[in-house]
């Protein structure tokens, strides 16, 4: 029996630099498949870019999973949507001949990227999580030995408390990931510091892969 992967509206840009790991771009609430393409080109020039649009609408704004309130996730929906995204990603990797991508997610996209790490260990080659939260009250046991993770949080973020970011870093480290956590003097929005740190971190990954 053939199983059809869930459909995601998405954008794909093939690599022009085969040495760079592909990026899985995961937008924040209200974004779409085009939202993070400029950021992807900026932080990883020449990398293949795969950018799906979230399939959930909140007041007309695309998201990757439902929430009950700001900072309160519908965890059953998060599990189901994470599994759908994993199936889509496997199909896209096969279709385009991609290696395990590095997720680059912002806000809601960073949260589902963290969920992907925990529910599907090994599917991602790493993750840059910008303004992410702990996705589950009772996280699944995961083995992430050596998986590189960049976690960038905002010291004055009104949505993600500093303690939550620290808990996420500890959770991923406890699962064996190599976590670099930086708290920046910013709020929830992205800054030039995020761009520079993500670019340098991705360049280091590329160097280490050689």
**Three-state DSSP class for 70?**
coil
pLDDT value of position 2: 40
pLDDT at 130 over 60: yes
**What is the C-alpha separation between 107 and 98, in angstroms, rounded?**
25
pLDDT value of position 110: 98
Supply the mean pLDDT for the chain. Answer: 95
- The string of DSSP codes covering 174-196 is HTT-EEEEEEESS-SS--HHHHH
Contact 148, 117 (CB under 8 A): no
**What is the C-alpha separation between 106 and 181, in angstroms, rounded?**
15
Higher pLDDT: 208 or 50? It is: 50
Describe the chain by its helix, strand, coil percentages, rounded to 5: 35, 20, 45
pLDDT value of position 7: 83
**In the CATH hierarchy, which fold is given to the domain comprising 10-209?**
Rossmann fold (3.40.50)
Domain ranges of the chain: 10-209
Higher pLDDT: 162 or 207? It is: 162
pLDDT digits (tens, 9 = 90+) for 133-168: 999 999 998 999 999 999 999 999 999 999 999 999
Residues marked active site are found at: 107, 157, 188
pLDDT value of position 207: 77
pLDDT band at 71 (very low <50, low <70, confident <90, very high): confident
pLDDT at 1 over 60: no
CA-CA-CA-CA torsion sign (141, 105, 183, 146): positive
pLDDT at 93 over 50: yes
- The string of DSSP codes covering 91-156 is HHHHHHTPPPPEEEEETHHHHHHHHHHHHSTTSSSEEEEES-----SSPPP---TT-EEEEEEETT
């Amino acid at each position: 029996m053939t199983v059809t992967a869930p459909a995601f509206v998405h954008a794909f840009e093939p690599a022009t630099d085969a040495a760079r790991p592909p990026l899985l771009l995961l937008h924040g609430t209200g974004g779409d498949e085009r939202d993070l393409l400029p950021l992807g080109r900026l932080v990883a020039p020449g990398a293949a870019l795969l950018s799906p649009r979230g399939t959930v609408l909140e007041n007309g704004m695309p998201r990757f999973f439902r929430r009950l309130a700001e900072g309160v996730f519908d965890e059953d929906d998060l599990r189901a949507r994470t599994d759908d995204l994993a199936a889509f990603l496997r199909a896209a990797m096969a279709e385009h001949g991609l290696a395990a991508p590095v997720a680059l997610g912002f806000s809601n996209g960073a949260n589902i990227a963290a969920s992907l790490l925990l529910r599907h260990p090994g599917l991602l080659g790493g993750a840059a999580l910008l303004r992410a939260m702990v996705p589950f009250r009772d996280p699944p046991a995961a083995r992430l030995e050596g998986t590189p993770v960049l976690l960038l949080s905002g010291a004055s973020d009104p949505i993600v408390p500093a303690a939550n970011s620290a808990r996420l870093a500890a959770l991923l480290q406890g699962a064996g990931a190599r976590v670099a956590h930086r708290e920046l003097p910013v709020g929830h929005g992205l800054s030039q510091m995020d761009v520079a740190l993500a670019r340098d971190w991705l360049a280091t990954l590329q160097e280490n892969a050689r």
